[in-house]
Amino acid sequence: MAQAGYFGQYGGRFVAETLVPALEELTRAYEEIVPTKEFQDEWRGLLASYVGRPTPVTRAHQLGALLTSRGAPGAEIWLKREDLCHTGAHKINNALGQVLLAKRLNKTRIIAETGAGQHGVATATACAVLGLPCEVYMGAVDVERQAPNVGRMKMLGARVIPVESGSRTLKDAMNEALRDWVTNVRTTHYCVGSAAGPHPYPSLVRDLQRVIGAEALEQFGQLDQKLPDAVVACVGGGSNAIGIFADFVPHTDVALYGVEAAGHGIETGHHAAPLNAGGVGVLHGSLTRIMQDENGQVLEAHSVSAGLDYPGVGPEHAYLQELGRATYLAVGDEAALNAALDLTRTEGIICALETAHAIAALTEVSERETKRLGRPPRILVCLSGRGDKDLVTYLDYLAKKEAK
């Protein structure tokens, strides 16, 4: 890292001066409090007794057989089961850590942004169990398409604030949360849900999520001392992906694959794939890869998945791509929907639409890795969340398929 807060050229802190003292305070807390035994014991204690960690790794025999029957190389597929965390996704790891840190900083109010609603639910949950008020900004489009999670947040005592500006999705929710923070910076902690935003958030969120990959590394060691050949995760802002990648990055024989949302297709412009079809620019306080026009204006993203519907990506992912350490693929809406059905009907697991993008990329990853290794690979997928929130979308799609 060239300097604090940067991953190569990416990262940094591009924010209003009002926020600089709060970010400096958070940076000091990240560096001085988070590594302490006292903080780690309390946070990891909650992860064990409240969240249900460690989450298991599950061999997906039938899914592997289905992909092989369709002509893919006979890969061995394993799933890191973040869907089994309390609240149903990896987001709770980060939310508990940040809310604990906010309490140490004597903050009296928590705000968050959310797309699919999983980070909103996780933050509302952390606030409920740790005794702080919570307000969640959520794009009006996402409020409608993720109604179950809106209900969960309200039941947990959080105030959900629909955002009507812009595309009324995740980008706009983050804009409003940042505006709120500027106004209430002394009393409020902004609990960012992804490995994006100004320094120290990309590093803080990564370090609160790297428990995913650390567990997986240990679990594979216990299985037979063999590492996976490839690790695959969906990428929007990128917290689940950087969480599972982080401890595998030094193991250079393990290939890393992030999977973005191709939406209606990269060529249509209606996608959410800045690593595949974006440029370098500033979004939400950091320099990263973003979707922008020739004048540098941020474009609207599209994905059937609310959690991937974001025109930027965490700066560490941009850096891993630039280094060639990670490869980023893109999967369209329909392929993701079909992959979710495949997983459900072969393994009895209804995954989140975000995760379904990673599942949909497995044939391509299998082919690439078989070519690299000269044998069928062993692939670990971060199953980042469960699909309760997406049932309406899945059932609508299923009805259309059956009507044909």
Whether 61 shows a pLDDT value over 50: the answer reads: yes
- Rounded to an integer, the average pLDDT of 174-202 is 95
What is the residue extent of each domain of the chain? 16-48+91-206, 53-88+211-403
Supply the pLDDT for residue 261: 98
Q: Which residues contact 313 (CB under 8 A, 6 or more apart)?
A: 196, 235, 236, 237, 238, 260, 274, 275, 278, 288, 289, 290
Residue 12 φ then ψ, to 5°: 85, -165
Angle 35-38-39 from CA coordinates, rounded to 5°: 55
pLDDT at 257: 99
pLDDT at 33 > cutoff 70: yes
Residue in 176, 239, 384, 389 annotated catalytic: 384
Predicted local distance difference test score (pLDDT) of residue 246: 98
pLDDT at 249: 98
Percent of the chain residues past pLDDT 90, beyond the cut? 90
Q: What is the pLDDT of residue 37?
A: 98
pLDDT reported for residue 281:
96
- Phi-psi domain of 285 (left: phi exceeds 0; alpha: psi -120 through 50; beta: other): left
pLDDT in tens, 88-99: 999 999 999 999
Q: What is the pLDDT of residue 1?
A: 39
Determine contact, residues 353/360, Cβ cutoff 8 Å.
no
Contacts of 25 (CB under 8 A, 6+ apart): 105
Q: How confident is the model at residue 166 (pLDDT cuts 50, 70, 90)?
A: confident
pTM for this prediction: 0.96
Q: What is the pLDDT of residue 115?
A: 87
Model pLDDT for residues 349-383, shown as the tens digit of each residue? 999 999 999 999 999 999 999 999 999 999 999 99
Looking at 80, 91, 171, 389, which residue is catalytic?
91
Same fold for the domain at 16-48+91-206 and the one at 53-88+211-403? yes
With a CB cutoff of 8 Å and minimum separation 6, the contacts of 306 are: 115, 116, 117, 141, 142, 145, 146, 169, 170, 353
Task: Give me the catalytic one of 80, 82, 113, 167.
Answer: 113
Residue 170 has pLDDT above 90, yes or no: no
Instruction: Supply the angle between the helices 201-209 and 20-32 in degrees, to the nearest 10.
Output: 30
* Cross-strand partners of 383: 81
Torsion of CA 121, 123, 126, 130, to 10 degrees: -130
- Summarised one tens digit per residue, pLDDT across range 110-147 is 999 998 899 999 999 999 999 999 999 999 999 998 88
Q: What distances in angstroms separate CA 282 from CA 147, 278, 401, one per listed residue?
A: 31, 12, 40
Residue 384 a catalytic site member: yes
Which pLDDT score is estimated for 319? 98
Tokens of 177: 């949360």
* Cα 15 from Cα 58, distance rounded (Å): 42
CATH architecture of 53-88+211-403: 3-Layer(aba) Sandwich (3.40)
Among 187, 203, 181, CA closest to 94 = 203
Taking 60 as the threshold, does the pLDDT of residue 168 lie above it?
yes
- Which ranges of 82-237 does DSSP label H, i.e. alpha helix? 91-104, 118-130, 140-145, 147-155, 170-183, 201-209, 211-224
pLDDT at 264: 97
Known catalytic membership, residue 107: no
Q: Is the pLDDT of residue 338 over 70?
A: yes
CATH fold label, 16-48+91-206:
Rossmann fold (3.40.50)
Mean pLDDT for 286-297 is 94
| Statement: residue 60 has pLDDT above 50 | yes
**Is 371 designated active site?**
no
pLDDT above 70 for 2: no
81-106 average pLDDT score: 97
